[in-house]
Structures are given as structure tokens and as C-alpha cells.
Amino acid sequence: MDKLTDIIAPRCRWLAAAAIISVVVPLYFVAHIKTDNSIEVWLKSNSSEYRTYRSFLDRYESEEFIVISADMDNPFSDNAITLQRRLAEELRDIKGVARVIDLPGVCSAIWENKQL
């Protein structure tokens, strides 16, 4: 143990500097790494998963969805329907929102001229 101490002690400043450099230099490079998480990086273009992804995009035009749900005692009550309609209208007014699908709107589309 004394031999190891005799080797390390005189060089402790150099060893500490080497340890710090071995952490700082890689951190600098890691901070500047660019990551490409596009689907093409992860899936081959001829795979069934990629084809499923593309058909999803063709149908829905975006891979970005936000689902908003609420816990209500009776989602079909007059107050709940009014709240859902108002929320849907406010969401439609947000810039960048392409489409809003709401329960009252779906019911109206399925059963024409029928209001909840």
C-alpha cells in the first residue's frame, strides 16, 4: 500500500487534472450532439411498421394529437354538453389547431339534425 501511495501522492495534482479533463471534454461534445429522431432513422422504409405509420399520416395528416378528457358524472347532461361545445369552440380558435373532434359534434354528424 505504501508503494501505491508513494506513486500517487506526488502526482495527485496531475491525476486530479486528468480526472477533471476526462469529464469536462466529453461533456462539451455531448452538449453539442444533434439527435435525429425522425421515423426514417428508426424504421426501414420498406417495413410494415413504416407503411402503417405512413398510412396513419395519410389518414390523419399529422402525428401530433392531443386528447383532452374529463371525468363527469353525466357527460350527456345539458351542462356537460354545453361545456363540451364551448371547449371545442375555444380549441378550434387556437392557431395551429387543425381539427377538433368533440362528442356533441360526432353525435350531430352521425345522427343528422339531432342535437344532444
Spatial distance between the Cα atoms of 91 and 100, rounded to a whole number of angstroms: 7
Looking at residue 20, its pLDDT comes to: 92
Q: 25-40 pLDDT, tens per residue?
A: 888 888 888 888 888 8
Q: What residue spans define the domains of the chain?
A: 2-31, 35-60, 66-116
Looking at residue 113, its pLDDT comes to: 62
Q: How confident is the model at residue 22 (pLDDT cuts 50, 70, 90)?
A: very high
The region, left, alpha or beta by phi > 0 then psi within -120 to 50, assigned to residue 96 is left
Q: 8-21 pLDDT, tens per residue?
A: 788 888 888 988 99
Is the confidence at residue 105, as pLDDT, over 70?
Answer: yes
Q: How far apart are the first and last CA of the chain?
A: 84
Q: What value does the mean pLDDT of the chain take?
A: 85
